[in-house]
Amino acid sequence: MLNALPTPAQPLRIGTRGSPLALAQAYETRDRLAQAFALPHEAFQIEVIKVTGDMVQDKALREIGGKGLFTREIEDALLDGSIDIAVHSMKDMPVEQPAGLLLDCYLPREDVRDAFVSLHGWTLADVPAGKVIGTSSLRRRAQILARRPDLTVVEFRGNVQTRLKKLDEGVADATFLAMAGLNRLQRGDVPLKALEVEQMLPAVAQGAIGIERRADDRIIEGMLAVIHDGPTGVRLAAERAFLAGLDGSCHTPIAGLAEIIGDQIRLRGEVLRPDGSEAICDDMRGAAVDAAQIGAEMARKLRGLAGEGFFTLG
């Protein structure tokens, strides 16, 4: 554990997955810390950690155990002291962290929207009937089937580069990618149509980077407080409370987005049946200081509207 600001001799070790997007997020975190504390890049060390989820390419993730697959090895490295912070896409993070770890530092949020990506330049509205859409996201599958039941959805895994390659190879006619990931990878070359959130409500925490730490590490606590983005924190408090109240397992398609309007917060939420045959939405406003309560309240409301069967029958 660091007992003072990091130096090239005793660097701050940043744990991350090895995908190009994960690395870009780790570099952004390093750059913000270096800037905030006037430290050289040599005072930081990026540690790439292999996670189970990245080694399983052939099976739908939900079938083999859900979200922890992308975080367990990284959180173990934090707990055993081999790294000092871990950088994550908040969209992939469970709502609760293991004892001894805290996840309360967020970088300023990127574009929250999904992009519809097709080499033919189609929009969601003009894809011809019968075309094949690749996605491994339960949410995106349900949302597109709700609007275009005439399309076929196939499983589409892998990182951003892999999925673009599959499009090239004709495995699917179109796919969805988060604008945030494409922007962070500087992939301005990808043919896409950004979908407004009214067309497709994004995943909870989409576009946000979170930095996890040991709860008892005071040096890191002080450093992360300086780069934390407060508005992103308020928005994620609402969205993650909403997700937590809905169970947060990977088996229900859930979308949620909070925005700050002055001292108010607006939260939109949606739960769908996996086949898109039914969608239940809500839109609430309240005081920004009550963000988490608003998220929890919307979850209770949608649970009541849906009825318990909604979440298990599929």
Nearer to ligand PBG, 6 or 53 (CB): 53
Beta strands in the chain (DSSP E): 12-16, 44-48, 85-89, 101-106, 114-117, 132-134, 152-154, 174-178, 192-195, 209-214, 254-261, 264-272, 279-287
When the beta carbons of 16 and 206 are compared against ligand PBG, the nearer one is: 206
Residue 165 and residue 163: Cα distance in Å, rounded?
5
Quote the DSSP letter at residue 76: H
Let me know if 84 is a catalytic residue.
Answer: no
Q: Is residue 252 part of the contact set for ligand PBG (CB under 6 A)? A: no
Q: Considering the complex, what minimum distance in angstroms separates the CB of residue 58 from ligand PBG?
A: 17
Q: Which range in 175-183, 242-250, 256-264, 265-273 contacts ligand PBG by CB under 6 A?
A: 175-183
Selected binder of ligand PBG within 47, 73, 76, 92 (CB under 6 A) = 92
Q: Residue 275: how many CA atoms within 13 Å on its side-chain side? A: 6
Rounded Cα distance, 256 and 167, in Å: 28
In angstroms, give the least distance from the CB of 40 to ligand PBG: 28
Query: Does residue 177 belong to the site contacting ligand PBG (CB under 6 A)?
Result: yes
Sheet hosting strand 254-261, strand order edge to edge: 254-261, 264-272, 279-287
One character per residue 41-80, x = contact with ligand PBG (rule: CB under 6 A): ----------------------------------------
Name the minimum Å distance from CB 289 to ligand PBG: 26
The token pair at 63 is: 């079938």
Please write down the HEC assignment for all residues of 133-191: EECCCHHHHHHHHHHCCCCEEECCCCCHHHHHHHHHCCCCCEEEEEHHHHHHCCCCCCC
Least separation in angstroms between residue 192's CB and ligand PBG is: 11
Stretch that binds ligand PBG, among 34-42, 75-83, 89-97, 261-269 (CB under 6 A): 89-97
Residues 185-244 that bind ligand PBG (CB under 6 A): 206-207
Residue placing its CB nearer to ligand PBG in the complex, 91 or 273: 91
Burial zone of 72 (CB within 10 Å; 0-12 exposed, 13-18 middle, 19+ buried): middle
Stretch that binds ligand PBG, among 9-17, 26-34, 84-92, 212-220 (CB under 6 A): 84-92
Which span sits near ligand PBG by CB under 6 A: 88-96, 212-220, 257-265, 300-308?
88-96
Round to whole Å and give the CA distance between 66 and 80.
23
For the chain, how big is the Rg over CA atoms in Å?
A: 20
178 binds ligand PBG (CB under 6 A): yes
91 binds ligand PBG (CB under 6 A): yes
By CB under 6 A, is residue 258 in contact with ligand PBG? Answer: no
Angle between helices 230-245 and 291-306 (to 10 degrees): 30
Q: Which of 92, 111, 282, 290 is catalytic?
A: 92
Residues that bind ligand PBG (CB under 6 A): 89, 91-92, 177-178, 180-181, 206-207
Catalytic residues: 92
